[in-house]
Amino acid sequence: MVVNMDFRVYHIHMLKRRIDKVLRAWKKERGDECLLINGARQIGKTFSIRQFGQECYQQFIEINFLENPLMQSAFDQALDSNSIIRQLSLRIPGFKLIEGDTLIFLDEIQQCPNSRTALKFLSTDHRFDVVASGSLITLMSQDVPSLPVGYEKEIMMYPLCFEEYLWARGYGDDVADILSEAFSNPSFLDSSIIFQYTSLLNEYMMVGGMPAAVNASLESSSWEDVRNIQNNILRLNLQDIEKYSKGFEREKIRLALDGVVRQAGNGRKAFSYAQIEKGRSRARDYMTAVKWLEKAQLIYPSSSLSRVDVPLSMYTEQNMARFYLYDIGMFFNMVAGDSMLLRNTILNREWSGAAKGRFYEALAADLIHKNGYKLYYYDIPQKIEIDFVIETDQALLPIEVKSGNNKALSLSKLLSMSEIPMGLKLTETSSGKVDRMMTLPLFMAAFL
């Protein structure tokens, strides 16, 4: 039985997501922890959890605190498990616990700070499981009376990654495993495979991973439909800024968002606060605004390194980060606007120039970030510039991104002066390995 406090009808493709496997693993292994899914709005959190609840439990109870604000009062009094269950049973028609086979889903949990505190008490009641989700969770955590440390397992969810986009296009689960053979044998990728997946990657760059945009791309051949969806999501993001930021900060946050989009991939050593309002802005005026965007999951950083060594987090330079928008399709839309010429040029594989390099850097960041890696970069002016450095379980991996087939001189220099076992050069079409440098097409960054 499904008890759903949201009565809207949803028309959406059943997009397969990586989080599906995470949810099922948590159900199987859960100890005394509720599951908290954090992420930007409109990325599919609610849909995935709802599907999980309906498929894996006999009883699924969904409470959306944004659409049903009166439900917040159920958490105004005692927060012990029995008291909350009594309050919910008074408010929800048909409420019934099937012991050991009930999932309670607390959606938009940031709207009810007390419910976040209550996770501490709900987590240890094994008559039911609890999954919570929301956007702006990190931003609004200061409103929570007592964070349930040790009683919630927080998972970050992102818009669709390239692998999930391939699933939506009908490709099988085994594609990633098959393509990953190229990491040990680059010659495995012949020209036809490279052409096919580079074309798919270019489409993904323009569509991105917002589920509604992906659905629009599957249902329609019109780029205008995809762009309309992306513009609607951008308006929702701007409404969040208007609603959840203090009055005097709103304009700075909007300007900071525009500044991140204008500067992402532009080759500067670090994000320039002075360029937000050229000649008028200082770093101290906009640091809080940029941090707001980061906490809202609308942007993510790539930290500057003073040294490439383990652990990378020890060698970050303060206030020297680069920033990227949370989804490559949203970024492409904000930069490209309504230019069908650019879209057609990309689809026809005819584009070149500085814009291509900028989009490819942002695309590489998207592919790596959505695999859960923290991003770093290493830049010594006029000497060496490494676009990305990541820390895997096995080794450090420096990465250079080339929109053409230029030589990776900085990567060669770094490898020659260190004991790093391997460097990765990402290009549009090349594949091969020379000494400690591996060259692979850009789409392979999605399978690191």
Kindly report the CATH number assigned to the domain that includes residue 119.
3.40.50.300
- 174 and 208 inside one domain: yes
- Reported residue count of the chain is 448
Q: Which two tokens stand for residue 81?
A: 């498990």
Q: Which structural domain range is residue 434 located in?
A: 162-447
Question: Which run of H or of E encompasses 380?
Answer: strand 375-380
- 271 and 136 inside one domain: no
136 CB-near residues (< 8 Å, 6+ apart)? 41, 110, 240, 244, 295, 296, 297
State pTM to two decimals.
0.92
218 CB-near residues (< 8 Å, 6+ apart)? 13, 168, 169
- 95 and 198 inside one domain: no
- 282 and 143 inside one domain: no
Q: What span, in angstroms and rounded, lies between the C-alpha atoms of 93 and 108?
A: 21
For residue 4, list its beta bridge partners. 62
- 288 and 233 inside one domain: yes
- 362 and 301 inside one domain: yes
- 430 and 394 inside one domain: yes
Give the residue from 103, 128, 156 where a domain finishes: 156
Per-residue pLDDT of the chain (448 residues; tens, 9 = 90+): 444 434 333 344 679 999 999 999 999 998 899 999 999 999 999 999 999 999 999 999 999 999 999 999 999 999 999 999 999 999 999 899 999 999 999 999 999 999 999 999 999 999 999 999 999 999 888 888 888 889 999 999 999 999 999 999 999 999 999 999 999 999 889 999 999 999 999 999 999 999 999 999 999 878 999 999 999 999 999 999 999 988 778 999 999 999 999 999 887 789 988 888 876 667 778 999 999 999 999 999 999 999 999 999 999 998 899 999 999 999 999 999 988 998 999 888 888 878 899 999 999 999 999 999 999 999 988 899 999 999 999 999 999 999 877 789 999 999 999 999 999 999 988 889 999 999 999 999 999 9
Of 86, 21, 6, the residue nearest 55 (C-alpha): 21
- 62 and 166 inside one domain: no
Question: What would the DSSP string read from start to end of 428-442?
Answer: SS--EEETTEEEEEG
42 CB-near residues (< 8 Å, 6+ apart)? 210, 211, 212, 233, 236
- 79 and 166 inside one domain: no
Look up residue 302 and give its amino acid: S
Q: What span, in angstroms and rounded, lies between the C-alpha atoms of 218 and 211?
A: 11
Give the residue from 112, 133, 156 where a domain finishes: 156
Give the residue from 124, 156, 188 where a domain finishes: 156
Per the structure, how many domains does the chain have?
2
Do residues 51 and 167 lie in contact, with contact meaning Cβ atoms separated by under 8 Å?
Answer: no
Q: What span, in angstroms and rounded, lies between the C-alpha atoms of 168 and 79?
A: 41
- 180 and 108 inside one domain: no
- 413 and 329 inside one domain: yes
- 406 and 321 inside one domain: yes
Do residues 163 and 425 lie in contact, with contact meaning Cβ atoms separated by under 8 Å?
Answer: no
- CA 237, chain centre distance (Å): 15
Of 135, 157, 343, the residue nearest 233 (C-alpha): 135
